[in-house]
Structure 1
Amino acid sequence: MTIDLQRRYDSPSDFFALGGSVVMKLSTDAAIGVCEQAAQRGLVIARIEGGIWHFPGFEARLDCIWDGVEPPLEVSAAEQNNLAAVEFIRSESQVHDVFVVTAPRISGW
Structure 2
Amino acid sequence: MACPNRNRERPRTIAFRCTDEEFETIDKRIKVTGEIKGDYLREAILNAEIHINVGKFKSDKLAIEIRNITRELQNALQLNLTDEVMELIKKNQIMFQEMYEMVTKESMELKE
Greater percentage in strand: 1
Structure with the greater alpha carbon radius of gyration: 2
Greater percentage in helix: 2
Question: What TM-score results when the alignment is normalised by the length of structure 1?
Answer: 0.25
